[in-house]
Amino acid sequence: MEQTSMEQVYHALIEETDRILEGNPDATRLEALGEALIRVENTGGYSDLRKAFQFAYLYQTKEEPVQPNHQLTPDSIGYFISHIIQLFNDGPVKMLDAGSGTGHLSMTIREHKADVELYGAEVDPLLANVNANVCEYLETSMNIYPQNIIEQARLPLMDVAVGDLPVGYYPLNPAGFTTAFKEGKSFAHLLMLESAMHYVKDDGLGIFVVPSDMLEENNETIKKYLSESATLLMFLKLPNTIFKTENQRKSIIVLKKNFSPLTNNEVLIGDIPDFKDTEQFKHFLAQTESWYDSYINN
């Protein structure tokens, strides 16, 4: 049976990765895959090439397990975030991906919204290098800042900030953050959210993947931030079918830069249906559109 163009590129990436590892056995599989991206012939459309990389990445991480923060953001999440972006912005946007990793979330959004200018901040040099090679492989431009988003960066103002934020404690005690705890270590995901929103223009948008209990446990600092510096627009739980345990469940939070109480409209809170349930998911997308129409007309 003849292979599709996506399958051909996928197998080429796997074979080239293996060849690189044979010549350099000390390299990690992700390092080798990053190098393979710029060696294979990238024939096919954007979507096929992106999926070929995605499947090759998943294959390598099964052969050589990686830490949770190195996992790719699922396509369905990227698609939903692009839907939210397009609700609020029907024209070109400048977008920051905070903790951009390999750039896969940005590339998924780019697939559904072509008129986006991409920026990414990633402290891990391995992931930042893979991201750069993904851009070359997909022939897509992205301004990659190889640094910690929590530290000060020389970034332009953005229309939108997004991020699949890593969960955990930040080892340092940064100054000047509303979301930082007064005592002990602070949550890295809260600091990254606040820092990313710093680079968003007034009334711009922030869309982040966060722990579902973010507003429930140790929530004093994020509640203070949401009452002073940003407006909570949506808090939507992702389907539990994409997480192994309930403790790992995450949600999508949507914010507007600066605080202005919603008038005649409530924060949209709910559960996103299983992405595989096409009818229910379409209905939910229609609900977000109806909410936006009410929001924009008040």
Q: What is the mean pLDDT of the chain?
A: 94
Confidence band, pLDDT 50/70/90 cuts, at residue 78: very high
Give mean pLDDT, residues 208-216. Answer: 92
In order of their start, the domains of the chain are: 5-66 (no CATH), 69-296 (3.40.50.150)
Give tens-digit pLDDT for 225-235.
999 999 999 99
% of the chain at pLDDT higher than 90: 82
Q: Are strands 250-257 and 230-237 parallel, antiparallel or unpaired?
A: antiparallel
- Tokens of residue 296, six digits: 């924009």
Of 89-98, 103-112, 168-177, the range with the lowest mean pLDDT is 168-177
pLDDT of 249 higher than 90: no
Average pLDDT over residues 166-172: 91
pLDDT over threshold 80, residue 298? no
- Give pLDDT, residue 245: 63
Average pLDDT over residues 62-89: 93
What is the pTM (predicted TM-score) of this model?
Answer: 0.95
The CA-based angle 85-125-146, given to 5 degrees, is 50
